[in-house]
Amino acid sequence: QQNDLNSFLWTIKRDPPSYFFGTIHVPYTRVWDFIPENSKKAFQQSHVVYFELDLTDPYTISALTSCQLLPQGENLQDVLPHDIYRRLKRHLEYVKLMMPSWMTPDQRGKGLYADYLFNAIAGNWERKRPVWVMLMVNSLTEVDIKSRGVPVLDLYLAQEAERLRKQTGAVEKVEEQCHPLNGLNFSQV
């Protein structure tokens, strides 16, 4: 029952009330039906919505992309042990080969091509820091590929907020997410 679900919604008692809602970075279609009505209602009634990051801002996307890169002149091959680098390269070749069979007819109908999708996800992988490559590889599964083109929950809510003309903002800057991940040493990654 919708009413029995944990809403991940906290109310901050003030007038008008404020709400804090915990999201997850997965395609919204995987979780939307499980978000209780009280959370959806709080979103609908709100006038101002703040997100972790502003995923609708081109600067945010550009900064996220830039922060993933190794320092100028360095490549992944220079920082990974040779055997891991070779296994990674073989795995990415396998994913690229399999990707056409992983795509849905709906994705193809929207003009998505496997090569384009692979490059959008894994392009420039040899210049990325190991932690970002690890996150990228974790998202290169058949299930994840089939849901590409569907916005993650945060982005979906941000797009809805814009569509409904709500005031939006972000509570973090890209650097606040990037620096901790980029600060992990190789053994931690």
pLDDT in tens, 77-109: 999 999 999 999 999 999 999 999 999 999 888
In the chain, where the domains are located: 9-183
Helix (H, G, I), strand (E, B) or coil at 18: strand
List % helix, strand, coil for the chain (3-state, nearest 5).
55, 10, 35
Both structure tokens of 66? 């830039």
CA 72/CA 74 separation, integer angstroms: 6
Mean pLDDT rounded to a whole number for the chain: 90
pLDDT at 147: 87
Query: pLDDT category, 69, cuts 50, 70, 90?
Result: very high
pLDDT at 99: 95
Both structure tokens of 67? 């922060």
**pLDDT tens, position by position, 123-165:** 899 999 999 999 999 989 999 899 888 889 999 999 999 999 9
